[in-house]
Amino acid sequence: MDPQIGSKNGAELDLLDAQIVTLLQEDGRRSNTDIARQLSVNEATVRKRIDRLVDDKTIRISAWADPLKLGYQTYANIEILVHPPFLEQAAAMIAQFPEIFFLGICTGRFDILAVGLFVSNDHMYEFLSGRLANVRGIDRVSTSHIIRTLKRDFPRSHSHAVGHAAGGDATQPTAATTKHRPGRITKSHSAAALKKRKL
């Protein structure tokens, strides 16, 4: 049975999809031919898979620039507490501000986490005291500056996480699996059975 990964629109991703995504995350300029060679499948298969993943918005292939090298001096987390009746409305409005490149609704001590980029402290002050302060429903705002970035990466696909958790390569079947055809694996032995056999 295929290991399946659900996407937001209900489409199911199989192991081959996840392997393609992992390779593109490592190098978004990687050619379909190179991906096909590494995964031992046809180039046409890779091309169709990538087209589908892009069309259903599972992936987007683009350049991810370092904001600190583009002239932005202030990189800040903005934690926002909102009166509950206004949460969705406030989040939608804040998400439209061009300075905000990430926004999520959270559990915990604040309701919205936004991450923004600003060219100066004056720019950030104008944003906080002007446009953000005028958003209806906001009760309290707290900010923290990111002063050094140690890691900034894409989320890895499910197969990548499983492969590394097992100590193996996510683009290859693990020792506990047998490959029949691209995207399909079956368990050869359970951990319990292997342990019993050793005893």
Secondary structure of 21-45 in the HEC alphabet? HHHHHHCCCCCHHHHHHHHCCCHHH
Sequence-ordered strand ranges (E) for the chain: 5-6, 12-13, 74-82, 100-105, 112-118, 138-145, 177-181, 184-187
Summarize the confidence of residues 78-106 as an average pLDDT: 96
Residue that has been written with the tokens 């969705």 in this structure: 88
At residue 113, the pLDDT reads: 97
Architecture of domain 1-64: Orthogonal Bundle (1.10)
**78 φ/ψ angles, rounded to the nearest 5 degrees:** -125, 115
User: What single string gives the DSSP state of each residue in 152-182?
Assistant: --PPPPHHHHHHHHTTS-TTS--TTEEEEET
Confidence check: pLDDT of 2 > 60: no
What's the whole-number average pLDDT of the chain? 79
Eight-state DSSP code of residue 131: I
Does the pLDDT at position 194 exceed 50?
no
pLDDT at 186: 37
Residue pLDDT, tens place only, 101-127? 999 999 999 999 999 999 999 999 999
3-7, 10-14, 112-116, 163-167: range with lowest mean pLDDT:
163-167
Phi, psi for 3 (deg, rounded to 5): -70, 125
pLDDT top residue among 187 and 67? 67
pLDDT at 159: 52
Give CA separation, 157 vs 13, 14, 128, 129, 154, in Å.
10, 11, 36, 39, 9
Supply the pLDDT for residue 184.
Answer: 42
Pair type for strands 12-13 and 177-181: unpaired
pLDDT confidence of residue 143: 96
Quick: pLDDT tens for 136-186: 999 999 999 888 878 777 666 655 444 444 444 444 443 333 343 444 433
Higher pLDDT, 3 or 174: 3
CATH 3.30.530.20 for domain 67-145, yes or no, is no
- What residues does each domain of the chain span? 1-64, 67-145
Alpha-carbon radius of gyration of the chain: 22
Model pLDDT, residue 193: 45
For the chain, the straight-line distance linking the first and the last C-alpha, in angstroms and rounded, comes to 29
137-154 burial, b at 16+ Cβ within 10 Å, e below that, comes to bbeebeeeeeeeeeeeee
Question: What is the predicted pLDDT for the residue at 8?
Answer: 46
